[in-house]
Amino acid sequence: MTAIRSFRPEIVPLKGTPGLDEKWLQDQIAADPSILGLGELDLKDRERIQPGAGRLDLLLQDPETNRRYEVEIQLGKTDESHIIRTVEYWDIEKQRYPHLDHCAVLVAEVITSRFLNVIKLFNRSIPLIAIKLQAIRVGEEVGLISTTVLDELPRELPDDDIPPETKDRPYWEAKASAKTVKLADGLLELIQSFAPGFELKYNKHYIGLMLNGKAINFVVFRPQKTALRFEVALPKDDERTAQLEVAGLEVLEYDGQFGYYKIRLSAEDIGKHQELLVALMKEAYAARGG
């Protein structure tokens, strides 16, 4: 058996190292936005002009939810101007496209405790993620490692207080398919096995749950053409994430804004993992006071 050799990778400062400038870093993220650890995002734009306020480094977008991430990059240590630009560009884009969901993303090699405290203050009122991004050298190759040092604070669950735009079942069958809408029926039956009385509520952007005329969205469904996106309101937990992945379920990017796990399900998945799905829904229901 061949012995496994260990080594210590060399951390390379991006600021001041020839060839590893901000343009190089932008190129790497633009080519593979998953480097940031925010999921499988698309590049929407780079060096995006902000009227009277400079240029936004990168604009990324979730292809499924259309959520946009306004990303500002800082080589070396973050500072006041970097934080202000990040928030300012997020606000400009939010005003440009108010119908979309937006999240500010601050990226730097070093985020000191002083500025982390400042970022936390902003995070109480706006969706803001802070990411530490470092370059490492192994031989002649240079790679990037990202660490989320501050994630979004979970916001209120959607539409419990503000009525969403109501649709109906034919709307979703046309938008997705009758087959995938029926998958939501199957999961509703599982919910009714431990919480009788719940019904599906058809909204414009998702199918929620209703009990006695009140929206209680501990689970929401987003039918697609060939699968159902199942979203369950549970705190992000490494052990839970590993359990889902070991089970073979397709776990999507965690929704840090509202606090939902997102899982893409087929009819086969629901049949095979019924016990696990029921356990998740029961836990989410109990967390909502059920």
87-132 pLDDT, tens digit each: 899 999 989 888 888 999 999 888 877 777 777 777 677 888 889 9
Tokens in use for 248? Answer: 């073979």
Q: What mean pLDDT is predicted for residues 214-234?
A: 92
pTM: 0.57
For residues 192 and 184, the answer to whether their CB atoms sit within 8 Å is no
Inform me whether the pLDDT recorded for 47 exceeds 80: yes
Give me the residue spans of the domains in the chain.
10-150, 169-287
Asked, colleague to colleague, whether 10-150 and 169-287 share their fold, the answer is no
If we measure between CA atoms, which residue out of 158, 153, 156, 209 comes closest to residue 185? 209
Inform me whether the pLDDT recorded for 156 exceeds 50: no
Average of per-residue pLDDT values in the chain:
86
The strand pairing partners of 112, in sequence order, are: none
Residue 95's identity, in one-letter code, is Q
**Superfamily of domain covering 169-287:** Transcription regulator MotA, C-terminal domain (3.90.1150.20)
The strand pairing partners of 147, in sequence order, are: 132
Q: What mean pLDDT is predicted for residues 240-248?
A: 91
CA–CA–CA angle 22, 27, 31 (5° rounding): 150
pLDDT tens per residue, range 62-75 = 887 788 999 999 88
Q: What is the pLDDT of residue 162?
A: 53
Inform me whether the pLDDT recorded for 202 exceeds 70: yes
- Strand ranges (E), the chain: 10-12, 42-50, 54-61, 68-77, 102-110, 128-138, 141-150, 199-202, 207-211, 214-215, 219-223, 228-232, 250-251, 261-265
Ramachandran bin of 32, using left for φ above 0, alpha for ψ from -120 to 50, beta for the remaining angles: beta
Q: How far apart are CA 161 and CA 163, in angstroms?
A: 6
As its CATH architecture, domain 10-150 has 3-Layer(aba) Sandwich (3.40)
Residue 284's identity, in one-letter code, is A
Residue 187 or residue 19, greater confidence: 187
